[in-house]
Structure 1
Amino acid sequence: MIDKQWSSAADAVADIPDGASLAVGGFGLSGNPMSLIEALHAQGTRDLSVVSNNCGVDDWGLGILLGSQRIRKMTSSYVGENKEFERQFLEGDLELELTPQGTLAEKLRAGGAGIAAFFTQTGVGTQVAEGGLPRRYNADGTIAVASPAKDVRTFAVHGDEREFVLEEAITTDFALVHAALGDRHGNLVFNKAARNFNPLAAMAGRVCIAQVEKLVEPGEIDPDHVHLPGVYVHRIIEVGPDIEKRIERRTVRATEGA
């Protein structure tokens, strides 16, 4: 039997070294692997290069690692909701590789599928393809590192000649993901919006560590219900259903007649 269950989040992340690259699931604050992030923060790991859709908020999600200046570089598609992120980037403390969201998703998926690169129309005619996007600033506000130009080629699609930009796949040393349900073989099921970047991040990591709200025995999950097969998952911990889950903004309106 291939039992991938680990006793704790601290044990599961203990061998993640300084300078490691991480693919981390989550979209906004939905589906963030908080127990694993907190364990990584507690052990003091730093100089991390992180690939994730966004970087949490100032005091939650990846924001807790960022706030302690544990992250050296972010590869993301959205960088709002986090004032500390803005400060570190503009003051030259953080490198940012800003990537279109669909492209980021495909870069992770391609990495997990063993595809080295792919061509896409997204970004053609912009700085994404032409280069020059600031990746790191100097303290005086000048650009220290800018994105390079990418290979652009023309292909015929449905009889039309179109330009496509070459995007390289992403693989990382480790992946941290959150799922609603998993078994000890690593098969995972995600709940609604938490099925965002989590499966893609899991695929891209050489070692994938998953936290699940409920852990069951192999065979208890209908194979047709599995969102991510256990072949991509190497370690799994159970965190229980009562973990704290936050949202970025709560919007409510008064009930009529109240």
Structure 2
Amino acid sequence: MDKVVASAAEAVADIGDGASLAVGGFGMSGVPTVLIAVLLEQGATSLETISNNLGVDGFGLGTLLAAGRIRRTIGSYVGNNKEFARQYLAGEIELELTPQGTLAERLRAGGAGIAAFYTPAGVGTLVAEGGLPWRHHPDGSVAVASPAKEVREFAGASYVLEQALVPDFGLVHAWKGDRHGNLVYRRSARNFNPDAAAAGKVTIAQVEHLVEPGEIDPDHVHTPGIHVERVVHVPEVEKPVEFRTVR
């Protein structure tokens, strides 16, 4: 039951080329930066990431992006990353743009064993009708466009069918975790982490505070250990501020 591994490098050693990763975080909050850094050193390439965004230039998933290691990404927010915009417009990366709530639910459904679900988000737009540019040619023309999705009516309202996401790995950051993999997130760092943890076939959690089993009140657990395969203790982790506002 002890899921703690000796190092972050050991935890990500079996992430191979072409693997799909659900990565927690929102902007700079709750990002598993240590796991991302060792994955960069490890060398896996042609990755598919599922994350709200791809970090910012030089931070988080932005480092993998800049190294040309991400082939495709499913996300909701593409701002604040100039390299992301450049690669997308140049046809170097494929982007499946997804409404933010739909992205969270696709991950949650994957973790719950639900194959697909209907949602009103995107009805009457290219999200449902197809035609969103997933990948461009270098000349700017569309190389790959999103397909049309099934739309059905329930009680007089239209809903679009969205498929669940079950990636090969989940990478998450938690404030506290025990040796059984039970996790607690702190404040806004909770964001996409619980959904990414549940969805991943193999979930790796970096935790700031590692405690013994029984030290976390069961009522305080956000992610049960059944969803987590590996735990890495990261007592000192960088927490930069994305936007600093001063008087």
TM-score between both structures, scaled by the size of structure 1: 0.95
Q: 2:228 matched to 1:252?
A: no
SS of equivalent to 2:206: strand
SS in 2 for 1:22: strand
SS at match of 1:57: coil
Residue 210 (1) aligns with residue 209 (2): no
Match of 1:42 in 2: 41
Q: Deviations over 1:218-256 (max 9, x none)?
A: 00000011111000000001000x311112211111xxx
**Which runs of structure 2 are paired with 1:156-167 in the superposition (5 Å)?**
156=155, 161-167=156-162
Q: What residue number does 1:76 align with?
A: 75
Could you tell me how far 1:71 is from its partner in structure 2? 0.2
Q: Give the aligned partner of residue 31 of structure 2.
A: 32
Amino acid paired to 1:175: G
| Partner Cα separation in structure 1 for residue 35 and residue 120 of structure 2 | 36
Task: Give, in whole Å, the separation in 2 of the partners of 1:80 and 1:124.
Answer: 24
Aligned counterpart for 2:174 among listed residues 176, 179, 189: 179
- For 1:227 and 1:79, locate their aligned partners in 2 and report how far apart those are by CA, in whole Å: 28
> Any idea what the Cα deviations from partners look like across 1:107-153, whole Å, max 9, x if unmatched?
00000000000000000000000000000000000000000000000
- Which residue of the partner structure matches residue 106 of structure 2? 107
Distance 2:232 2:187 in 1: 20
Q: Distance in 2 between matches of 1:247 and 1:147?
A: 34
| Structure 2 counterpart of 1:169 | 164
1:33-62 Cα offsets, whole Å, 9 max, x none, are 001000000111110000000000010010
> Taking every aligned residue pair, what percent have the same amino acid on both sides?
66
Structure 1 residue runs of 5 or longer lacking an equivalent are: 254-258
The answer for the alignment partner of 1:14 in structure 2 is 13
Greater Rg, structure 1 or structure 2?
Answer: 1
Q: Which amino acid aligns with 1:119?
A: Y
CA offsets, 1:160-201, max 9 Å, x none? x10000000000000100000000000000000010000000
Question: Partners of 2:94 and 2:246 in 1: how far apart?
Answer: 36
Q: What is the SS of the residue equivalent to 1:172? A: coil
Aligned length in residues? 247
TM-score (norm 2): 0.99
SS at match of 2:85: helix
In 2, Cα distance between the equivalents of 1:252 and 1:238? 33
Aligned to 2:133: 134
Distance 1:40 1:224 in 2: 33
**SS of equivalent to 1:40:** helix
